[in-house]
Amino acid sequence: MIATKPFKFLLFLFLMVGIIWGIVMGQSPQIFAQENPSGTTKTLVMATSPDYPPYEFKDTATSGEKIVGFDVDIAEYITKQLGYNLTVVGMDFNGLIPALTAKRADFVMAGMTPTPDRKKNVEFSDIYFEAKNTIVSLQDKNYKNPDQLKGKKVGVQLGSIQQEAVKNWQGVIAVPLNKTSDIIQELNSKRLDAGVLENTIVKGYIAANPGLVYNEVPNTEEAGSAIAFPKGSPLVQPFNEVIQQMKASGKIEQLAKKWFDRPVVTQAPEVPHGKGLKLDFNKIAPNIPYILAGIFITLQFSLVSAFFGFIWGTILALFKISTIKPLNIFSQGYTSIFRGTPLLVQLTLIYFATPQLTGYDITAFQAGILTFSLNSGAYISETIRAGIQAVDKGQKEACEALGVNYQLMMLDIILPQALKNILPALVNESINLLKDSTLVSVIGVEDLLRRAQIVGAEKYIYFEPLIFVAVIYYLMIITLTWGANKLEYQLKRSS
């Protein structure tokens, strides 16, 4: 038998980490607060996707966490006129409509056009700003109208009005991508023939990518940006009244001039397009503190999820080897469901469906921890089960002969030996948790990867912030691996 002290210390360490982060989780502020501390002035929550300059983005070198832009200024003006406070929260563009339908936000502003499909799920204000679509392509192609794109691959942002517009262009192969920056990168990589972007944002990307050109095309569908609300929202009419006042007074035109006519500060590559990649990390130097702040969030999710996943996985493993059939059936069915469905689907369902099903306004932090723990537990349970069954049967028979009860046998004899054998597999699961934590950006959490994407959108660049966070992830994983190797060495010495 091996000494159990290292395992007891490890369990104690996990327990302390869990308690500490459990307190943090319990004190995590609600992202979608409804009233200020005094309770006298209602706070409206605006959801947006802060990777779409100049509509909404983060000037991370100066404003830090604050989301700024054309839409934000309009929202601040309207809510102030109506006597509300305003809270602005960011998430992926794909999550904006679900946030409204789940009533996790009071309204959405993200350069969003009121398409017929969107109107089925949410209500819209009047159009507050109109823009045109543009075709972006390489200089040597320079497509000027949709007829030239027949049979071509054309990039559009998933869920955008540009995606709807391209559907009406005959013979065009639409390629939906998550972000406008992805479209630009695919064009530079020559995997796309063209992209369709709004004229108000395209200038920044062209300035940062001199190998690209753009041409405006007439709008053939309902165009323009509007504010989205949940169905039946009482805010639609008062918002419309202020929008009309802003149009009549020239306020919207003034804000448009402020944001759309501002000089685009970029450092364009000096090498010709297609003749090499020049990386300049000086571009993101002022934004590094903002990116590094994401380390805390990433570790937060990973550590707490690893703790609860390990505890839950151990319980499930014991269920699987139990002679009590209902427990065995439950654990097998649970593992099948959580291993057979995508983690991203589980995360979005728990975050957006929980308030509607239970009435509890679960925070993004809590939803992430719950999802990652439940998912990780399914995988860990199989690992622990295999580890338990790999322990020599003679150990169990000896305990039974000596009259050792089941609980003591599992805690002091079987589990310590099993954990020693499966330690590398547990480390791999921890590494996967650390990397999978990037998925929490979908529900508005700004982890390392999300912050890198925000900086990239702000600077109209792609590679530098991603390479920077890749190095950070690598260093964290190397540190985790080193710690696991040290623990494994200590366990071998104590055998």
pLDDT at 356: 73
pLDDT of residue 102: 82
- CA atoms of 416 and 422, how far apart (whole Å): 10
Clarify whether residues 24 and 118 are in a common domain. no
- Examine the fold and report which residue of 217, 246, 274 is the final residue of a domain before the chain moves on: 217
Q: Does 100 have pLDDT greater than 70?
A: yes
Any domain includes 268: no
Share of the chain above pLDDT 70, in %: 84
* Assigned domain for 48 exists: yes
Could you list the residue range(s) of the whole structural domain that residue 230 is in? 43-129+224-263
In percent, how much of the chain has pLDDT > 90?
A: 26
Q: What is the pLDDT of residue 269?
A: 45
Domains of the chain: total? 3
The answer to the question of residue 35 being in a domain is: no
Contact 51/454 with Cβ under 8 angstroms?
Answer: yes
Indicate if 480 and 343 belong to the same structural domain.
yes
To the nearest whole number, what is the mean pLDDT of the chain? 81
Q: What is residue 158's predicted lDDT score, i.e. its pLDDT?
A: 80
pLDDT digits (tens, 9 = 90+) for 340-357: 999 988 998 888 888 777
Q: Are residues 409 and 334 in the same domain?
A: yes
Average pLDDT on 262-279 reads 52
Q: Is residue 285 part of a domain?
A: no
Residue 469 has pLDDT above 50, yes or no: yes
Distance CA 60, CA 476 (A): 23
Q: How confident is the model at residue 161 (pLDDT cuts 50, 70, 90)?
A: confident
Is residue 275 in a domain?
no
Provide the residue type at 255 as one letter: L
Quick one: average pLDDT of 252-276?
65
Q: Check: CB of residue 80 under 8 Å from CB of residue 144.
A: no
**What is the structure's pLDDT at 491?**
67
Task: Kindly state the average pLDDT of the residues 61-81.
Answer: 87
The whole-model pTM stands at 0.66
In this prediction, residue 273 has a pLDDT band, given cuts at 50, 70 and 90, of very low
pLDDT band at residue 143 using 50, 70 and 90 as cut-offs: very high
Considering the domain architecture, whether residues 139 and 208 belong to the same structural domain is answered as yes
Q: How far apart are CA 86 and CA 68, in angstroms?
A: 13
User: Mean pLDDT throughout 183-187?
Assistant: 89
The domain that holds 348 is classified in CATH as 1.10.3720.10
Judgement on whether residues 369 and 482 belong to the same structural domain of the protein = yes
| Closest CA relative to residue 219, chosen from 304, 142, 115 | 115
CB 117 within 8 A of CB 231: no
pLDDT digits (tens, 9 = 90+) for 189-226: 889 999 999 887 888 888 888 889 999 887 655 568 89
Helical H segments across 109-155, by residue range: 116-119
Q: What is the pLDDT of residue 38?
A: 39
